[in-house]
């Protein structure tokens, strides 16, 4: 089982009700009557996984840079901020 498939199914069916043992929709065992995703939705989200992860990583890098710039504007560093216990 790949992290991609696990994270995709967790995103689509966050309340659980499933077990996944592989990388495709056919590897999902539905264990109760909670809402289920469709095969088309699962495959679509799985196909977009890498792009979404890249976007999340880029946003995290940009957010960190923005935070560091704000600290620098205040004359602080990340270490100064940590030293304050924040």
Domain ranges of the chain: 3-83
pLDDT tens-place string over residues 27-68: 999 999 999 999 999 999 999 999 999 999 999 999 999 988
Residue 82 — very low, low, confident or very high, per pLDDT cuts 50/70/90? confident
* Residue 30 DSSP one-character state: E
pLDDT, the chain, mean: 93
The pLDDT value recorded for residue 10 is 96
Of 19, 24, 29, the residue nearest 44 (C-alpha) = 24
CB count within 10 Å of CB 18 equals 17
Contact call for residues 32 and 44 (beta carbons, < 8 A) = no
Of 16, 11, 43, 12, the residue nearest 31 (C-alpha) = 16
Residue 76 — very low, low, confident or very high, per pLDDT cuts 50/70/90? confident
């Amino acid at each position: 089982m790949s992290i991609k498939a696990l994270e995709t199914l967790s995103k689509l069916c966050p309340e659980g009700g499933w077990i996944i043992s592989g990388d495709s929709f056919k590897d999902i065992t539905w264990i109760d009557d909670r809402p289920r995703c469709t095969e088309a939705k699962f495959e679509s989200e799985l196909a977009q996984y890498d792009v979404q992860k890249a976007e999340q990583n880029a946003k995290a890098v940009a957010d960190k840079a923005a935070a560091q710039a704000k600290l620098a504007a205040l004359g602080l560093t990340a270490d100064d901020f940590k030293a304050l216990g924040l």
